[in-house]
Structure 1
Amino acid sequence: MPAFSLDGKTVFITGGASGIGLGTCERFLREGARVFIADIQAPPQAVLDAGAVFQHVDVSKREDVIAAFAQAEEQFGLLDVIIHNAGRPGRGKHLTESDEAVLDELVALNFYGTYYMLKYGPRHMRDGGSIITTASVAGLQQNEGFFDYSATKAATISMTKTAAVELGLRGIRCNTVAPGPVKTPMLPPTHVLNTLAKQLSALGRIAQVDDLVGVYHFLASDESRYVTGHTMVVDGGRLTGFRQAVLARLAD
């Protein structure tokens, strides 16, 4: 079998209708995987024409998640890969000014969505499979106005590491991808991160979806069979350090 092969693998992807999730679906389909998309919106018709199966799923609802896993197993048999990509950002409020109702919505999706994936997904998986969750560099670095999003993404990292320990003897690997800013529909064109990413990343640009999909490909493939409990930061070097020109602007 070719290196990094996904041929014939059964893959369950949340948030697969747009952004990183969609890009990952497209890559996996091209590589011969059988893809089940769980999202609140339908993916482009081209993805369905390529063989993906779609089910409307709100990952913040336990019953939706349980039903989706059961349907995926009925459709494809036991799963080889689960990729949990569904989530949304916070509202940019200071902790002291935050709205608890808004926080409840974010926790329901980002925290409980991850919890339900890790709780109910493994019983529908083959031993030796791979679970990949999507967090963010915001889960590793706290910035003003990001407390809610950062907290839920830090929880994603923590829960995934716990799952790696608990599922290890089944050979199920659990890893997290932590992107920096990525040019997706979730990031409006006018958002300050579009500009800041060019200044704060070592590579001097914001990430494109194609910069991420290869990481998911690697973690889903058998080539990563001894990688588990890992948080793979994909931020163009944002957390590594700053160039002198950037530091000079901050000093002005």
Structure 2
Amino acid sequence: MNKPAPFSLKDKAILVTGGASGIGLGTCERFVQEGARTVIADIQSPPQSLLDEGALYLHVDVSNRDSVMAAFDSAEAAVGKLDVVIHNAGGPGKGTHLIDSDEAVLDRVVALNFYGTYYVLKYAPRRMRDGGSIITTASVAGLQQNEGFFDYSATKAAVISMTKTAAVELGMRGIRCNAVAPGPVRTPMLPPAHILNTLAKQLSTLGRIAEVDDLVGVYHFLASDESRYVTGHTLVVDGGRLTGYRKEVLQLLAPP
């Protein structure tokens, strides 16, 4: 019997939320290239070129339960039971202190990041084959707290927690659940003038901000059968940001 090539995604049925831009778009482009039956679920349409290559687009608002359920129904009808679900849709807060925060903004961030993850983890397994893979996009903000990020950090910490719970509950079906926690990545969600573009060069041990291509291989690995014994894990992809700081960076903080 011929075994599939290592890391093969050929003919896998994959749904990606937030797949029309940024990290999600990069992973979808890779999956289509690898021969996966790729469903892009987003509030905006992906580039036409990707649809021309065979990807399917479904409009979905992950903060809306009925929208998420309808998307999974449509995906199963189009490509069959799913092998991989990647929940990448999410968004930032407003960058204010907790005591100055706007509850309406908090409600929006919770609806998108918390409830969006909850709905995907709740309804995806019903549309998946045993032995599949669920990958959520968290953030280093869910592991390290910084001033002005309380809402984003809290919801991304919840993404990590819920993903680990799902790993425990779905393990006997062979469904692996892992979170990816990127550091700052050059995407449309991070404007060119944002301070993290500059800070990433100093705070990461690799001395640069991440590009989308730096993340794609991580999702490829977790989607493939080569990661079949990896579950309940949070894979930090931050260029070493949480590892520690170089001496010259510390000297900038405390000059002699």
Query: How big is the shift at 1:118?
Result: 0.3
Please give the alpha-carbon distance, in whole angstroms, between the structure 2 residues aligned to 1:207 and 1:190: 16
Letter in 2 for 1:227: V
Please give the alpha-carbon distance, in whole angstroms, between the structure 1 residues aligned to 2:194 and 2:94: 13
Partner of 1:48: 51
Partner of 2:175: 172
Partner of 1:185: 188
1:153-174: CA deviation from partner (whole Å, max 9, x where unpaired) = 0000000000000000000000
Letter in 1 for 2:177: C
SS in 2 for 1:24: helix
Partner of 1:197: 200
Answering whether residue 160 of structure 2 is matched by residue 157 of structure 1, we say: yes
SS in 2 for 1:35: strand
Answering whether residue 116 of structure 2 is matched by residue 125 of structure 1, we say: no
> Identity of counterpart residues, as a percentage?
78
Partner of 1:219: 222
- Which TM-score applies when normalising by structure 1? 1.00
Please give the alpha-carbon distance, in whole angstroms, between the structure 2 residues aligned to 1:8 and 1:56: 23
- Displacement over 6 Å in runs of 4+: none
What's the RMSD between the two structures over aligned residues?
A: 0.4
Query: How big is the shift at 1:100?
Result: 0.5
Letter in 2 for 1:195: T
Please give the alpha-carbon distance, in whole angstroms, between the structure 2 residues aligned to 1:99 and 1:187: 21
Any unmatched runs of 5+ in structure 1?
none
Please give the alpha-carbon distance, in whole angstroms, between the structure 2 residues aligned to 1:129 and 1:90: 32
1:134-190: CA deviation from partner (whole Å, max 9, x where unpaired) = 000000000000000000000000000000000000000000000000000000000
Any unmatched runs of 5+ in structure 2?
none
Query: How big is the shift at 1:244?
Result: 0.2
SS in 2 for 1:131: strand
Please give the alpha-carbon distance, in whole angstroms, between the structure 2 residues aligned to 1:55 and 1:34: 13
1:119-146: CA deviation from partner (whole Å, max 9, x where unpaired) = 0000000000000000000000000000
SS in 2 for 1:145: coil
Please give the alpha-carbon distance, in whole angstroms, between the structure 2 residues aligned to 1:154 and 1:45: 34
Partner of 2:83: 80
Letter in 2 for 1:212: L
Partner of 1:27: 30
